[in-house]
Amino acid sequence: MTATAANAAPRPAGHTAGHLDEAAETNQPVQFVAFKVNGDDFAVDIMAVREIKAWANVSSLPNMPSYVRGVLNLRGNIVPIFDLRCRFGRGATEATRLHVVIILIARGRTIGILVDAVSDILKAGSADLRALPEEDGEAGGFIAGLLALDRRMIAILDPDRLFDQSLVAIAAQAA
Amino acid sequence: MAFAPDIMDELRATFFDECSEYLLRNEELLGTLRDGARDGHHERDTLDAVFRIAHSIKAGAAAFGLTALADLTHRMEAALDRLRTGRLSLTPAMLALLLESGDALAEQVEAARNGTGADGDRARSIADRLAEAVKSAGSAHPTPLPTPLPTVLPATAMPASFPDFPAASGEAARRWAILFRPTAYSGGNEPLLIIRALGRLGRLVSTLDIARLPDIEMFDPSEPVLAWRIELETTHPESDIREVFEFVEDEADIQIAPLEAAFPDADDGSAEEAPPPLPAPATVFSAPALPAPPPATEGGSVIQAPATGLPAPAAPGGAGARAPAPAGKGSIRVDLDRVDRLVDMVGELVITEAVLTQLCRELDSRTQRRMIAALKGLSSHSRKLQDAVMAIRMQPVKSIFARMPRMVRDLAGRLGKTVDLRMTGEATEVDKTIIEELADPLTHMIRNAIDHGIERPEARLAAGKPECGVIHLSAENKGGRIVIRVEDDGRGIDRPRVLAKARALGLVAEDAEPSDDEIDALLFAPGFSTTETVTDVSGRGVGMDVVQRNIQSLGGRVTVQSEPGAGTRWTMTLPLTLAVLDGMLVRVGPELYVIPLANILESTRPKPGDVHEVVGHGTVVFLRGDWLPLVRMADVFGLSGAERDPARGIVVRVETDTAGVIGLVVDELLGQQQVVVKPIEQNFTHVPGVAATTILGNGQVCLILDLDACVAMERGRRARDGTAPPGIAPKPALPSAA
């Protein structure tokens, strides 16, 4: 792990946005895990990532939105898995062993996101961070910002907001 | 004291833990006092024990700056001291005041623990009444306040001068020769504090005996070598002197003897100038130097610790000093989180073992045989480990039972009834989480027994029963579960009245003729109460249905049996732990679920002719002469590919809390097994119809069904779809016998 990550380590998990803000202020480079969903590039703050594992069958949960794929046994912890492609309204992922689950910390809980592949570890300074141009419909709610690197635009996922909004949607459906 | 803040926090936490134990013990002791007041023996020992409790809490409270708590305990201590020395008699009013102080104390402790301000008025008023009682004792016997308030100060900050002689009372002063030789300093006792406390009793001359002081090369700083010879002139009785030493008696040689012969009472003035002829300081204290020991009024000259079983309380002067561990079996205080982590890890181990067993099947036969033998060993060890770890969380039900006598006493008194509470099986152990959930249901049941069960004394005598009603509270282990019974010898359930009330409430149809068991079960119906007047005791009709719900949420059951005129028996059966659950693994389409075994009555495959679609009521099956409403799990969870025909699947007859007995349609029963319960809310959110999750042998997560929620979901679904009106049970009016 680089010095950046080590410095940030003592901060409690689940404060990704704060971490980014801080990075913007101090101009310290921040590391991201980049991944692909349906051909698009996304990234998530490496501090929120706990591990990356290959897709394995999950146990489905009844009467949940289709983007809740089910729960996974992660060394005895019951971890919910969110299908990001489905969350973006592009239909459920036809998951194979080549698909990847990124285990994240969101709001202090352990969750997993199902993505197509992990593509890179990126290092970005505050100069590379861009605010969202405007609210971007479906995905805008849990995208914290954009990363402009190598003439690519990469959306930064905010795990906390992803988790919050999913719970709100589930509660609304149950009611 | 220069303790780091976190150490102080830790000490505080320990203090509060100890307070809880002390308070429980206090309650128990006061109960003993009340019961023992009749036969009168051991009263002194019990009062001594209560006194030490008050004192221990006071010492800690003062150390942590909890002045309200310290003040209240100080008053209690003063009153208790009068009581144990017989200067105040233990009247029922006094006992009530002590019980009340215990309550106020619990309040103060709780408030201090939470850091919230307690309602100081009650504590103050009790403290005032205690002070009043002490004062009344003082006027009857002209003895000045003897109770020293131990000052909490580190030894180094101790002023060297002694306080002034207290105001002389009418009694003649006596002289005492005292030898005080500490045998251990590990308890944190400070001899100076003791001598200072003695100084408050009267005029004192103290001489240090350094006879045992070894040469410097032999010197062991941890080995006490010093002794003090003290000559004390005081109007206080010997018991007051002994009291000063009360908390060091285990850690010191103490000899107290009167010096009457040498200094008769008449020799009043000269005593001030001439110190008594104590042996030369540098000589070894020998027997002739002291007059003969006093007549054995209170045992020998070395004070024996009363055998109360209570840990020796913290030393008066040692602010942070902890009481030494109780003699006999050693025990340690462990944070519950640590135990939980251990329980979790053992759960993982059991799962891993199941995974290994599964993998073993894929091996070639030669390796497999050896693997199976090895796995059998692992299995036996992990089972034993699981039992051992679960045993750590087990606690005797005594901690809950101990609260009951007090409640029975108060309640019976208020209702003008006499009730004798008998308890058996207090040592029966159950998981800590269950213990915590037991208090409310048990309180409800006992209140019910006193209020509704036990008759007034006149009525009892008229019915040819003894005047005093008996409630028997018992606990026992039975088949991996704990059975708790509350039995009374009262009037029993008044079935005609219950039935009339149920009809009036619309719980039973006018023409229905329910059986006795069914009538008894009505007591668990929500909102049911037969009491005409709502008292603050019971009769709000929120009693037994809440009890039943609480017990069922723990995976238990409540039943009631009653015989008119002879009494009522409530029986609760509960699992011993919440961390594991006995379940039935079932398959519904592609999914596996666990149904808690506690809910399952039987399972059956009905004949095709017995299954009927009833318009407006969904599917029912004719079983044992009755219509059983069916719920298809596939419908509840919206699963495709599941068997819809009950005659080709399996109907599991389950008992639910809110919907009575229903038949759950599943595809297949896969077998019974013990599962480790994992909450789903930890990383996700509540999922309707799912009570929790577990991990199967193959590592797959499996959902444990919440049957009540499943039935409610099915009703909601049918109401929305318009296929049936809400309320599918054909007999919602009559819950079957629990």
- Is the pLDDT reported for residue B282 higher than 70? no
Per-residue pLDDT at B260: 58
The backbone torsions φ and ψ at residue B675, rounded to the nearest 5 degrees and listed phi first, read -120, 150
Instruction: Describe the strand order of the beta sheet including A30-37 as a list of residue ranges.
Output: A117-124, A30-37, A40-45, A152-157, A143-149, A129-130
Q: Which residues of A touch B679 (CB under 8 A)?
A: 78
Instruction: Mark B63-79 as b/e (b = at least 16 C-beta within 10 Å).
Output: bbebebbbbbbbbbbbb
Cβ atoms within 10 Å of B384's Cβ, excluding its own: 10
Q: Which residues of A touch B697 (CB under 8 A)?
A: none
What is the DSSP secondary-structure string of B48-98? HHHHHHHHHHHHHHHHTT-HHHHHHHHHHHHHHHHHHTTSS---HHHHHHH
Per-residue pLDDT at B4: 61
CB within 8 Å: B682 and A77? yes
Q: Which residues of B touch A58 (CB under 8 A)?
A: 701
Of the ranges A18-22, B104-108, B227-231, B423-427, which one carries the lowest mean pLDDT score?
A18-22
Residue among B636, B683, B703 whose CB faces A110 most closely: B683
> Among all chains, which residue has been given the structure tokens 């830790």?
B10
pLDDT digit string, tens, across residues A98-154:
999 999 999 889 999 999 999 989 988 878 888 776 655 555 578 888 888 878 889
Q: Which residues of A touch B693 (CB under 8 A)?
A: 59, 71, 78
Q: Coil, strand or helix: which one is B274?
A: coil
Per-residue pLDDT at B543: 67
Residues in A whose CB is inside 8 Å of some CB of B read 57-64, 70-73, 75-80, 109-111, 167, 170-171, 174
- B424 to chain A, closest Cα gap in Å: 40
d(CA A114, CA B658): 39
3-state helix, strand, coil in chain A (%, to 5): 25, 40, 30
Per-residue pLDDT at B169: 44
- Number of helical (H) and strand (E) elements in chain B, helices listed first: 19, 22
Percent of chain A scored above 70 by pLDDT?
A: 79
Of the ranges B38-42, B608-612, B732-736, which one carries the lowest mean pLDDT score?
B732-736
Q: Full-prediction pTM beyond 0.80?
A: no
Q: Which residues of A touch B703 (CB under 8 A)?
A: 59, 61-62
d(CA B107, CA B396): 24
Q: Determine the residue of chain B that is closest to A174 in CA distance.
A: B688
Domain layout of chain A by residue ranges: 3-174
pLDDT bracket for residue B244 (50, 70, 90) = confident
Q: Determine the residue of chain A that is closest to B705 in CA distance.
A: A62
Tell me the average pLDDT across B204-232.
78
Test the B interface: residue of A66, A71, A167 with most B CBs within 10 Å = A71
Contact predicate B460/B467, CB 8 Å? yes
CB within 8 Å: A170 and B685? yes
Q: Determine the residue of chain B that is closest to A70 in CA distance.
A: B701
Q: Which residues of B touch A77 (CB under 8 A)?
A: 678, 682-683
Residue among A60, A71, A109 whose CB faces B591 most closely: A60
CB within 8 Å: B683 and A63? no
Q: Determine the residue of chain B that is closest to A60 in CA distance.
A: B591
CB within 8 Å: A59 and B683? no
Per-residue pLDDT at A59: 94
pLDDT bracket for residue B20 (50, 70, 90) = confident
Q: Determine the residue of chain B that is closest to A108 in CA distance.
A: B683
Q: Which residues pair with B614 in a beta bridge?
A: B618
- Is the pLDDT reported for residue A10 higher than 70? no
Q: Determine the residue of chain A that is closest to B692 in CA distance.
A: A78
Per-residue pLDDT at A175: 62
- Is the pLDDT reported for residue A51 higher than 90? yes
CB within 8 Å: B690 and A80? no
CB within 8 Å: A59 and B348? no
- B671 to chain A, closest Cα gap in Å: 19
Q: Determine the residue of chain A that is closest to B710 in CA distance.
A: A62
CB within 8 Å: A63 and B688? yes
CB within 8 Å: B684 and A72? no
Test the B interface: residue of A57, A67, A78 with most B CBs within 10 Å = A78
Q: Which residues of A touch B685 (CB under 8 A)?
A: 167, 170-171
Q: Determine the residue of chain A that is closest to B696 in CA distance.
A: A73
Tell me the average pLDDT across B82-109.
81
CA angle A151, A152, A158 (to 5 degrees): 140
CATH number, span A3-174: 2.40.50.180
Contact predicate B41/B95, CB 8 Å? no
| ipTM > 0.95 for the complex | no
Helix residue ranges per DSSP H, B264-333: 270-273
Contact predicate A76/B695, CB 8 Å? yes
CB within 8 Å: A78 and B682? yes
Q: Which residues of B touch A110 (CB under 8 A)?
A: 683
Q: Which residues of A touch B358 (CB under 8 A)?
A: none
How high does pLDDT run on average in chain B? 75
- Is the pLDDT reported for residue B461 higher than 80? yes
B133 contact partners, CB below 8 Å, separation of at least 6: B79, B82, B88, B94, B97
- Is the pLDDT reported for residue B62 higher than 70? yes
